[in-house]
Amino acid sequence: MGELLYLEDVVSLACDRERCVGCGMCVIVCPHAVFELREGRAHMAARNRCMECGACMRNCPTGAISVEAGEGCVRGVINELLGIEGPCC
């Protein structure tokens, strides 16, 4: 299989680094290696790889992460229907 392609900027994933305590749970549980630790805090190294499974949000002890399950694809479809520029699923 060739290299996988990901849609740009359609995922709802957000991380508030001010609330992060650097426990590393998001790095451990993410199946797509979206997060890494930088200077003791979570960093979204590959945000577009997120499939919005919600595992990081559920396991973050401080509520630093938010993500709407499945919203990224829906947002892409709605954008296309409304004629808004951007990628679509």
Which parts of this chain interact with ligand SF4 (CB under 6 A)? 13, 15, 20-26, 29-32, 34, 42, 50-56, 60-62, 64-65, 67
Shortest distance, position 3 Cβ to ligand SF4, whole Å: 18
- Number of other residues whose CB lies within 10 A of the CB of residue 78: 12
Residues pairing with 37 in the sheet: 42
Shortest distance, position 38 Cβ to ligand SF4, whole Å: 10
Nearer to ligand SF4, 10 or 64 (CB): 64
H/E stretch holding 74: helix 71-81
- For residues 69 and 52, give the distance between their C-alpha atoms in angstroms, rounded to a whole number: 5
